[in-house]
Amino acid sequence: MSPGETAAPVPEKEAATPTAAAPPPPPAGALAPAAAEPSYETKAQVQDVLTSEIGIVVMLNRLKQSIASAKEFAQFLRKRSILEDEHANSLKKLCRLSQENMQRGEHRTGTFAAAYDEMMVVHERMADNGIQFAISLQQMSEDLTELAAMAEKSRKGWKQSGLAAEHRVAELEAAMRKSKSKYDALAEEYDRARTGDTSGRQGGKMFGFKGHKTGAQHEEDLLRKAQVADQDYQGKVQVAATERSELETRIRPETVQALQDLVRECDSALALQMQKFASFNEKLVLSNGLCISPLKNGAESRSLRECVLGIDNDKDLNDYLSSQHSKLPPRTALPKYERNPVFDTSNRGTANAPQGASQPPGPNPVPPPQTGMFHANARSSTFSDLPMSPPNQGTLGHNYNQSTSSIPILGGPPRPSSQPQHERSLSHSSAMNQPHNDATGQQYRGAAQQPSQVSNTRFNGSYTFGNPQGPPQLGALPFQSSSQPQQPQQVPYTQPPPQQGGPMTNPLLQHPPSQARRQSPPAAPQMAPPRPVFGISLSRLYERDGLAVPMVVYQCIQAVDLFGLNVEGIYRLSGSVPHVNKLKNLFDTDSSSSNLDFRNPENFFHDVNSVAGLLKQFFRDLPDPLLTKENYLAFIEAAKNEDDTVRRDSLHAIINGLPDPNYATLRALTLHLHRVIENSSTNRMSSQNLAIVFGPTLMGTAPGSNISDAGWQVRVVDTILQNTYQIFDEDD
């Protein structure tokens, strides 16, 4: 039995199996036309074609069509499988990434977070369904490809055997027809010789190679040839008849039947895979639908719509606000503006009158200055020497008038209450519209140069609103009377030097009267900070503070290590300029202040990008760059080496020759930036990106340099960062 005959029943059984297993109504209707019996006329036509000489060729062409269709559908399944797999895996990866990002602190929590998690779980289940669908399609594609390959191989075998028999019979029939033609020609010639037909002969004699033949001899010769041709023709007819009979009775039917079986097998398998494809599509859509809207068979099953509708924005907002209740700062009173009596022109004439007395308003002449009044300017120096209170404690303008009257009188004997008080305003005498003679001005300026005699010990502690001691106050002046309530006196304002805890503001400058703002001259220039950090060379900072790495560099590195390694674009994105300026002023005031401990993010306003900007600002403000102007050209020449090892060793040698503060600071910065690079998958800051940011900052510009050096500056810093542990020892 031929291979085609044994393989024929298999696809018929396989085709019957899914029909029985599938849901009854749709598949039965789909397969009903294929099971219909053909008409008698159709059967006769089919049989005539199959038994004819073209039967094998027709079946070979039909099998070729089935194989091509199977290959095309297999290719479609393979490409569809790839698309579904990519889509499912991308969806799953997107869900996980989005879910991880949503769980970070900068996103919402509460019912929104729960609903979002459930929504991502639904999408992950849909992605799993897609992956399973892709696997099924891939298996179907492989099965169809294998079937097409086997069918094509069988087709080649049957084509060779079937067509060979057809060609052999055709050749035998052609030889038979040729032999018959020869036999007929000899018989005709013999008949003419026998009947005495002399046409074509001369004088009844035949010429030959062996001499002339007589008519009798020629007749015998033709008879012999005709008999030989007759035998040859008869033999070829028998052989052709035998081969033709063999072809028609055995070879052709077997070949046609085998090709029919292959066609049925290929077509049945193709139809089966298409049915499976339709079933898998239905299963995919149904599974995704159940993921989105599951059956109500349990309390835990929620549809996607129910998950989204479960978001309670008001509850999330209230929960978030209530969670911040523990972080509430101490409650303070609202700031209150209290106008200083000095600027009240209607009370100048009655400022020293007893309480309850009434005097008409009028000009109050200024008495001539006295010797005991030279100490009045001690208030200015006392104000300059006071330690500044933290800016977040108390309200200086609110408490100013509450504690001034309780300050003991210092600096000289009390002045009688009958004399008018000596008043000094921020705008000198112009704000009061009173003349001011030269003698008074000279005496005042001379007194301002005397050292303050008021002790500062009582102002060293911090205060809060409602503290009995009150905020730091100005020292009492010698012209204030102890027998009556004291009125705060206005003196020329001098910018106080920043002290630990932050700058202290003058309440008169917080709410200046409109008249004083219009008539006051420009404010005096600000005094330089006592211990500046920015704009000071590293060697001077080292000699002054005794720190190899400046405190501002240490604190900034510490803040970025704790809170900025996973921030995308760290050092590339600019922070808030007001925040950077505030931090800069704090460091210039007192770099050892507890308010500059960057382990607490509140100290840098929870803005790590501002810390990064502060660090870059420090290096930009250095008088001599971190890598020094002296070594600028050496660094540029070393960067031009194309060999990585030679370039690294050249830079290493130059770095070893840097001054000690520069070397220590560069080492701390490089190790820190290497930690940033180790998290580049999150912060997107590679060594090249950091080198672009820090190249010009660390190297600066040298005399005679050109713009083309920017690329070499980047290469210098990039090489240092890529060879961090070859150039510097790792921190213990």
In this predicted model, what pLDDT tens digit does every residue of 211-263 receive, in sequence order?
566 677 777 888 888 888 888 888 888 888 888 788 788 888 888 888 989 99
Residue 528 lies in a domain: no
Backbone angles phi and psi of 37, in degrees to 5:
-75, 135
Are 443 and 587 in the same domain?
Answer: no
> CATH number, domain at 624?
1.10.555.10
Instruction: Give a yes or no: residue 23 inside a domain.
Output: no
Tokens of 272: 């089966």
570 and 713 in a single domain? The answer is yes
Q: How far is CA 118 from the centre of its chain?
A: 23
Claim to verify: residue 617 and residue 567 sit in the same structural domain: yes
At residue 449, the pLDDT reads: 38
Q: Do 63 and 262 touch, CB atoms closer than 8 A? A: yes
> Minimal CA–CA distance to 530: which of 662, 384, 382?
384
Please check whether residue 357 lies inside any domain of the structure: no
Could you say which DSSP state residue 520 is in? P
CB 481 within 8 A of CB 415: yes
The reported pLDDT for the residue numbered 327 is: 84
Predicted confidence at residue 554, as pLDDT, reads: 96
Predicted local confidence at residue 680, as pLDDT: 95
Specify the pLDDT at position 299.
54
Length of the chain equals: 732
The residues, ordered by sequence, that sit 6+ positions from 115 with a Cβ below 8 Å of its Cβ are 307, 308, 310, 311
Radius of gyration of the chain (CA): 55
Helix (H) or strand (E) holding 68: helix 55-102
> Which is it for the CA torsion 495, 497, 502, 506, positive or negative?
negative
At 304, which amino acid appears? L
Is 91 among the domain residues? no
Instruction: Say what the pTM is.
Output: 0.38
554 in the same domain as 492: no
**Does any domain span residue 467?**
no
Tokens standing for 116? Answer: 């979002």
Do 443 and 555 share a structural domain? no
Give the pLDDT confidence score for residue 594 in this predicted structure.
85
User: What pLDDT does 488 receive?
Assistant: 37
Classified as helix, coil or strand, 597 is coil
* Same-domain status, 622 and 673: yes
Q: Do 450 and 586 fall into the same domain?
A: no
pLDDT, residue 518, reads 39
Buried b (16+ CB within 10 A) or exposed e, 130-141: bbbbbebbbebb
Domain with 588 in it:
538-727
Q: Is 29 exposed, middle or buried (0-12, 13-18, 19+ CB in 10 A)?
A: exposed
**407, two tokens:** 């300050």
Q: What is the chain's percent helix, strand, coil content, to nearest 5?
A: 65, 0, 35
User: Residues 493, 597: one domain?
Assistant: no
DSSP 639-651: HT--SHHHHHHHH
pLDDT at 344: 66
The residue to which tokens 């099998």 are assigned = 63
493 shares its domain with 569: no
Q: Are residues 558 and 447 in the same domain?
A: no
Q: Which residues of the chain have pLDDT under 50?
A: 1-25, 27-32, 202-205, 207, 347-524
pLDDT of residue 425: 34
Cβ-count burial of 416 within 10 angstroms (0-12 exposed, 13-18 middle, 19+ buried)? exposed
pLDDT tens per residue, range 499-526: 333 443 343 334 443 333 334 444 445 5
CA distance 35 to 171: 42
The answer to whether residue 623 sits within a structural domain is: yes
**Strand partners of residue 213:** 206
247 in Cβ contact with 165 (< 8 Å): yes
**Can you give the pLDDT at residue 482?**
40
Domain presence at residue 413:
no
- Determine, yes or no, domain membership for 64: no
Give the whole-angstrom CA distance, residue 433 versus residue 243. 143
Counting the structural domains of the chain, the total is 2
Q: CB pairs under 8 A, 24+ apart, for 340-349? A: 340/488, 340/490, 340/508, 341/487, 342/423, 342/425, 342/487, 342/488, 342/489, 342/490, 343/425, 343/431, 343/490, 343/513, 343/515, 343/516, 345/432, 348/432
Name the residue with tokens 């070979």.
Answer: 60
CB contact at 8 A, 633 and 699 = no
Q: What is the pLDDT of residue 127?
A: 94
Rounded Cα–Cα distance for residues 444 and 492 (Å): 10
The pLDDT assigned to 541 comes to 94
CA atoms within 13 Å, Cβ hemisphere of 270: 21
Distance CA 545, CA 533 (A): 10
Same domain (yes/no): 493, 571: no
Identity (one letter) of the amino acid at 210? K
Please write the tens of the pLDDT for every residue from 379-430: 333 333 333 333 343 333 333 333 333 333 333 444 443 333 333 333 333 3
Tell me, yes or no, whether 570 and 706 share the same domain. Answer: yes
